[in-house]
Structure 1
Amino acid sequence: MSKIPVIAIFDVGKTNKKLFLFDENYKIVFEKSAQFKETVDEDGDQCENLESLRLSVFDSLREVFRLKEYEIKAINFSTYGASFVYIDGDGKPLAPLYNYLKPYPEELKTKFYDTYGGEEEFSVRTASPVLGNLNSGMQIYRIKHQQPELFKQIKYALHLPQYLSYLISGRALSDITSIGCHTNLWDFTRDTYHEWVTREGIIGKLAPIMPAERVLPAAFPGNSYSVGIGLHDSSAALIPYLVNFHEPFILLSTGTWCISLNPFNQTPLTAEELKKDCLSYLQYQGKPVKASRIFSGYELETQVKRIAAHFNQHPHYYRSLPYDAAVIQKLQQEPSVKNAGKNSIELKESVFAQRDLSNYATDAEAYHRLILDLIDLQKESTQLVLEGTDVKRIFVDGGFSKNVIFMRLLAEAFPDIEVFAASMAQATAIGTALAIHSAWNTKALPSDIIELKFYSVTHQVKV
């Protein structure tokens, strides 16, 4: 019996580290998951256990290479962003994998932005809100100024996906999806590295850029599989939609954050958009994607607990609550409420926290009010990246795509746009495989990997 050709994908999140084998139809034929206990850096701050991750990659590959029914044709990687691995000339890590939530020295931040044009101008050029260590370029800037001896030893600063690729290919490379996601490194107005990268001597520590669809041979003799250079996970999750849909669309990726991604909006960011938590990043083909985000998943979880406690109900009850048009129409008669003192989109939360739950007769009514308030905020956020583009569809993936009330109200909020709930198992991992499709797969690009459910406008609701 001939072996089944497959691709191995490492999908590394902050909590779960997953390995998938996909066949040529992009069906999962094998998967495993691992979690590692975090370690600490020299300041005692929690950080990824890089050595555990490195060993896990090799152990997992040894395991799947022993599976006699599969032939591994390629390997690729996607990981969370804003994380550098600093290696010496022998490829050995020189420092911890610093946590992007680590506090950034205020004095150094001030010095940086004062030197390079001020926060507003710099952020507009680099499409990067001021985020401290979440701007990964600021991490290596800190090392240069606070740990000069370490800086001298660094041969390359590799974003995490490229470090994992380096372990297998032996080639140190950079990838545009990692560079182009709020790193402070890329000048979107000139489509190249920002001048500070050269002036500070950082450019020599950054490996050559290679396109995401290119592959490398494995470093180990006798192996014929190809190795991808890795992708930033947010960019990877967008790839299946770019492959399957060519008419302009917005992907609303939902979870803790609800992020509106418009790959058909390449207009430069404005200072006003940055204040409202918009950013741009580079997708795998190097084109800018304008994005806006709000903290709705977190707010939903918090406010559902408040509703459940008030009405003596279990929070899980609301996951399958049906849409009630009569309740929505009643709630629409309430006077509108504004967030006090601040534009809601800048506050990133709805007005629901200000509402008195005793005003609602039932918990279902209060829950519908919460979703209505979240939709008001979502409409405002999505509109930021929608304007000026001919978007025909909104695809919603993640947790909110399963919320019938949210989906019905979103369709009402955008009556001239088709709204779909999209479901796809492991979108990030599939996107990572699709990026190097031609390097391992003999079949045509798939057209059936995304399941869609259409939500039509059923009656006029003002949102």
Structure 2
Amino acid sequence: MVLPVTAVLDIGKTNVKLSLVDQRGRVVHEARTPNTVLEAAPYPQHDVERIWTWFLGALAEAGTEQGWQVRAIVPVTHGATAVLLKGDALALPVLDYECERPYAEAREYEVARPLFSESLSPSLPNGLNLGRQLYWQQQQWPQEFGAATTVLMYAQYWAWRLCGVAASEVTSLGCHTDLWNPKRGDFSSMVDKQGWRHLFPPLRAAGDVLGTIHPHLAAQTGLPADCQVVCGIHDSNASLLRYLGADAPTVISTGTWVIVAAPGFAPERLGELDAGADMLANVSAFGQPVACQRFMGGREFAELAGEQIEEGDQYDLQRVISQGSMALPTFSPHGGPFQRRIGKLVGPPLAGGRERYALASLYCALVTDHCLSRLGSRGPIVIEGSFTANRLYAGLLAWLRPEQRVMVSDDSSGTVHGGWLLTGQGATGELPWEAVAPLELPAARMYARLWRELVDAGQ
């Protein structure tokens, strides 16, 4: 029996996944591979050819071995990445946003970039502002940049490779790029000043079908000739998609980045966002500004927990709290509410991997709680993504936010479900989640108060 499915190509900063989703929204098959960065000339770059080869092979294998029939493909990718094309070829390699050189070598970019009041994009390190990447490439390689015919955001690059139709899309354009004016719903003033507007293809909605898969790719993978290719979406906006509505909860999208999105943040208050604390407005799939704050929580968790993860429990957490061991921000150089601080451990050393796991969970919960307070979060909170498996993190948040109901999505990869929703097979009102009971932790309240005092004092 042949079962129709949607293929979601989910390119995160750490891993690349192929997920096959059935007509009821269930993931029936998943394959993954590390997302490696090539340390090559002229700068660190995304290995797009390796991803492409792996993806096509994974598609073919899934269809051959399992008998699923892919009816649509949806690209979902991390932000801060664009592809410069010269015709059908790369004009320049696809720059890795963690490369430091765009920041170090394009200091004058701070004069060229639009004001925060226009873009709602804070000034971020390395290449996290996509406009900084393009500006640097234009200055360093003027001949190659000048020969470029198209700029594609990362999700739309993969859609283009699959079907040959070039498009632009607002969730990636509006993701701290400096390229977009969220309040006007148009490109920022810098795009016109730099002469870039003509490079961007026409805007399409994230869920638009751009076309069908190239015939030669259908033959290579065994996909049907009429398999549709959907425009695609930025990953944290995919996680947010099913919660958008009249009473939208605060959504915590977790993975390499922890992004706290508050759709209920009043549009007239967008001017209150603090650029220096990595507060910004992303743009939803419906083109609306969404107030957010973020930190590189997945990376910081890994730094604190260590390479060999040993999952701790509530008793390990209680020992960490009782002895007063603390992690003070920050353990990633990439943005966050406490950027430019150097993370440090204070108090007695930890006994082993289980306590490191507990401390990492506690640290991430405290920083998330800080972000929720800065955004004025009220009402329900939903945790999406990889941290849904960490019950210490969820229970701590429920304890830290006693006046709010904290829930964990049943989907450890909300990006995949959001990508599937773009095909129109599901309803955004379907919200399967599990309420979280707060952890009971003697002495924890005093611990949290001391942590906040130290952080507020700049320790």
TM class by shorter chain equals: 0.7 to 0.9
1:327·1:368 contact (CA, 8 Å) conserved in 2? no
Amino acid at match of 1:51: E
Q: Residue 84 of structure 1: CA displacement?
A: 1.6
Secondary structure of the 1:320 match is coil
1:289 and 2:290 correspond: yes
Task: State the partner residue of 1:431.
Answer: 418
Number of aligned pairs? 430
Amino acid at match of 1:171: V
The alpha-carbon distance between structure 1 residues 80 and 107, as it changes in their structure 2 partners (threshold 3 A), is: closer
Secondary structure of the 2:19 match is strand
Unaligned runs of 5+ in 2: 216-223, 330-335, 449-459
Superposition pairs of residues 24-39 of structure 1, within 5 angstroms:
24-35=23-34, 38-39=37-38
1:392·1:417 contact (CA, 8 Å) conserved in 2? yes
Superposition pairs of residues 368-383 of structure 1, within 5 angstroms:
375-383=365-373
The alpha-carbon distance between structure 1 residues 303 and 454, as it changes in their structure 2 partners (threshold 3 A), is: closer
1:199 and 2:193 correspond: yes
Cα distance in 2 between the residues matched to 1:445 and 1:321: 36
1:251·1:395 contact (CA, 8 Å) conserved in 2? yes
2:103·2:127 contact (CA, 8 Å) conserved in 1? no
2:407·2:434 contact (CA, 8 Å) conserved in 1? yes
Task: State the partner residue of 1:308.
Answer: none
The alpha-carbon distance between structure 1 residues 80 and 399, as it changes in their structure 2 partners (threshold 3 A), is: closer
Q: Residue 237 of structure 1: CA displacement?
A: 1.9
Amino acid at match of 2:437: Y
Cα distance in 1 between the residues matched to 2:412 and 2:356: 32
1:164 and 2:158 correspond: yes
The alpha-carbon distance between structure 1 residues 29 and 458, as it changes in their structure 2 partners (threshold 3 A), is: closer
TM-score by length of 2: 0.79
The alpha-carbon distance between structure 1 residues 399 and 51, as it changes in their structure 2 partners (threshold 3 A), is: closer
Superposition pairs of residues 4-83 of structure 1, within 5 angstroms:
4-35=3-34, 38-43=37-42, 45-64=43-62, 66=64, 69-83=67-81
Superposition pairs of residues 135-150 of structure 1, within 5 angstroms:
135-150=129-144
Q: Residue 272 of structure 1: CA displacement?
A: 6.2
Q: Residue 326 of structure 1: CA displacement?
A: 8.1
Task: State the partner residue of 2:100.
Answer: 103
Amino acid at match of 2:408: A
How much identity, in percent, do the aligned residues show? 24
Superposition pairs of residues 195-344 of structure 1, within 5 angstroms:
195-218=189-212, 220=214, 223-242=225-244, 247-267=247-267, 269-270=270-271, 273-304=274-305, 316-317=309-310, 319-322=311-314
Cα distance in 1 between the residues matched to 2:363 and 2:226: 55
1:266·1:289 contact (CA, 8 Å) conserved in 2? no
Unaligned runs of 5+ in 1: 306-313
Cα distance in 2 between the residues matched to 1:324 and 1:65: 45
Q: Residue 17 of structure 1: CA displacement?
A: 2.4
Cα distance in 2 between the residues matched to 1:271 and 1:258: 21
Among 110, 135, 138, which residue is 1:113 paired with? Answer: 110
The alpha-carbon distance between structure 1 residues 103 and 271, as it changes in their structure 2 partners (threshold 3 A), is: farther
1:175·1:212 contact (CA, 8 Å) conserved in 2? yes
Task: State the partner residue of 1:357.
Answer: 348
1:408 and 2:395 correspond: yes
Structure showing greater radius of gyration is 1
Secondary structure of the 1:110 match is coil
Q: Residue 294 of structure 1: CA displacement?
A: 3.3
1:20·1:28 contact (CA, 8 Å) conserved in 2? yes
Among 437, 441, 444, which residue is 1:455 paired with? Answer: 437
Deviation string for 1:291-347 (max 9, x for gaps)? 112355544444456xxxxxxxx9755x2322599879968xx8x9999xxxx9435
The alpha-carbon distance between structure 1 residues 133 and 367, as it changes in their structure 2 partners (threshold 3 A), is: closer
Amino acid at match of 2:85: I
2:312·2:355 contact (CA, 8 Å) conserved in 1? no
Cα distance in 1 between the residues matched to 2:44 and 2:327: 41
Q: CA RMSD in A?
A: 3.8
Q: Residue 415 of structure 1: CA displacement?
A: 1.8
Q: Residue 348 of structure 1: CA displacement?
A: 8.1
